[in-house]
Amino acid sequence: MSTHKNILQDGADRLRAPVAALLLMALLVCWPTSSWAQSDSARTLFADNKAGILQIRIIDITSGSKSAIGSGFVVNETGLIATNYHVVQMAASKPEQYRIEYLSASGTSNSLILVDVDVINDLALVQATGQITPVLPLAAAEPPIGVPVYALGNPLDLGMTVVPGTYNGINRTSYHPRVHFTGSLNSGMSGGPTLNQVGEVVGINVSTAGNQVSFLVPVTALQQLIAEHQLRGQGVENIRQRIGQQLIADQQKKFAQLLALDWPTIALGEALVVNELSPFFRCWGGSNSSSDKAQLLNADRTCRSEDNIYLNAKFNSGVIEHQFFWLEADKLNQLQFYAYYQRLFSDFAPGNKAREKDVSDYQCDSEFVAVNNVEAQPERKTKAVFCARAYKDYPQLYDVLFLQGTVDDSRAAFISHFTLAGVSRENAKAYARKFMEVAQWQ
């Protein structure tokens, strides 16, 4: 049995602050769930809704056996079922290799057709050929923080399970809103509903950070997707094109918002660097100033938007990362300091992960630029590097990497860096322009 991967897996980043590990998501391990006294509410909810919650299976057509599993639930009388995009992604990308099917609690199974996706919110709609009851009602209002809610799904292919937990509101620290659910979601529960005490769907299970910290897609995103689908009246013809349009529209909205901001700055050494742009940016920093063994002063600040759009198990997008280094030679002589600076400069990596079938190789250029107060300080030399790789399936979208290093008479240096994943050409250029303007050695 192969279980699906979670959307919030970390990209490989060689320079990431270790604090980022805090948010490292892992769904592949099975944690022992804490025992609880099953309330009447959970018992009734489970009994009433069991039939409307289905196991979604991705079947390899050639071998006839399941390649991935998740959960889903019935959202209307026509047999429309909601689940996560990452549950059905294999079938969406390779319809010739995989088909989708459901298995109900009563043991009936039938095939499903993918009709729409919302890749930004990790949602998908699949259509069954006949009616399935009961339909799970979607909550009209967000529940208050602290109320008990119940996640349902099929963890680890163990059968339908109910997991009680607490609704902790919409998490404002990610660009795409997620409900913070205190309860243990496990692999296979993705796409299942989380219900309030009266049996209304308040969120869709999507990911976990372990230790009872789990996340749900807010039900409003599902409501919107269903409305769009009903308006269209039929399934989306070209899912890939639909995903491309959603990515384009999402980055357009996000960057319009970010570029319109007056970017806050914070001092790092003698430089001013970009501070937390918005609540969904998380920043960490550190320095070696207290180390006796340190030969030089190295202070850094890293900001990252916790915003991963799952495109497939090995390809995610949406992340924005800023990184700044302030270096002072201290005990090192010029040449040694320069050797360190050069080593640091050569070691930058993208913030998201991707494979050859998803993106092109990075194309790069490097130039000397006259920035960082060079008129007043002509001895400062700045070199800027810009790299871009194009998305193969989604035209007009790129991952970009910018890196700029300035050094004066080799006693101090300032490195600024950003990576953007899934950005249009114009937004990337505008971002680079603004970034170079704001992050400056004073």
Partner 1 sequence: MAVIIELLGWGGKRQRYFTVEGPAVTIGRSYQNDVVLGDGHISPEHLRLDAIDPSNGVEGGWQLTDLDSLNGVEILKNSHSTSSHFTRADPHESNSLTLLGEGAELKIGRTRLRILSDSHPVDPAKELHHLEQDVGKLNRLSIWLPLFLLSLTLDIGALYASSYIEWQWKNVLSTILGTQAGLLMLALFWGGLGRFLRSESHFLSHYCLILLAGLAYSLSDWLIGVLGYNLGTQTVALVLKPLIALSFAGLLLSANFALATNMLPRQRWVSALGFVMLIIVVSITAQVSQWGEFSPYPDYFSGLEVPVLQFADAESAEQFVLGLDPIFAAADRMALD
| Binding residues vs partner 1 (CB under 8 A) | 12, 293, 295-296, 332-343, 345-346, 348-350, 353-356, 359-371, 374, 379-392, 395, 398, 401, 403, 405, 407-410, 425, 428-429, 432-433, 436-437
> Can you point out the beta strands (E) in 183-312?
193-195, 201-210, 213-218, 265-268, 271-274, 281-287, 297-305, 309-312
Smaller CB separation from partner 1, 102 or 341 = 341
Question: Residue 16 Cβ, how far from partner 1 at the closest point, in Å?
Answer: 14
Smaller CB separation from partner 1, 71 or 406 = 406
Smaller CB separation from partner 1, 209 or 423 = 423
The backbone torsions φ and ψ at residue 198, rounded to the nearest 5 degrees and listed phi first, read -95, 10
Smaller CB separation from partner 1, 112 or 428 = 428
Question: Residue 91 Cβ, how far from partner 1 at the closest point, in Å?
Answer: 24
Smaller CB separation from partner 1, 135 or 371 = 371
Are 368 and 383 contacting, i.e. CB atoms less than 8 angstroms apart?
yes
> Of 317, 328, 284, which is closest to residue 303 (Cα–Cα)?
284
Smaller CB separation from partner 1, 129 or 342 = 342
Question: Residue 209 Cβ, how far from partner 1 at the closest point, in Å?
Answer: 24
What is the Cα–Cα distance from 192 to 74, expressed in whole angstroms?
10
Are 400 and 365 contacting, i.e. CB atoms less than 8 angstroms apart?
no
* Lookup: tokens for 118: 């919302």
Question: Residue 413 Cβ, how far from partner 1 at the closest point, in Å?
Answer: 10
Residues in the chain: 442
In 152-274, alpha helices (H): 219-232, 239-260
Smaller CB separation from partner 1, 157 or 393 = 393
Are 77 and 70 contacting, i.e. CB atoms less than 8 angstroms apart?
no
Question: Residue 135 Cβ, how far from partner 1 at the closest point, in Å?
Answer: 43
What is the Cα–Cα distance from 170 to 220, expressed in whole angstroms?
11
Question: Residue 338 Cβ, how far from partner 1 at the closest point, in Å?
Answer: 6
How far, CA to CA in Å, does 350 sit from each of 247, 324, 358?
18, 15, 14
Question: Residue 391 Cβ, how far from partner 1 at the closest point, in Å?
Answer: 7
Q: Give me the half-sphere count of Cα atoms (radius 13 Å) on the Cβ side of residue 104.
A: 18
* Lookup: tokens for 35: 């025992």
Question: Residue 399 Cβ, how far from partner 1 at the closest point, in Å?
Answer: 9
Fill in the amino acid letter for 241. Q
Smaller CB separation from partner 1, 1 or 12 = 12
Smaller CB separation from partner 1, 224 or 366 = 366
Question: Residue 291 Cβ, how far from partner 1 at the closest point, in Å?
Answer: 11
> Of 154, 153, 174, 164, which is closest to residue 218 (Cα–Cα)?
174
In 316-442, alpha helices (H): 334-345, 425-438
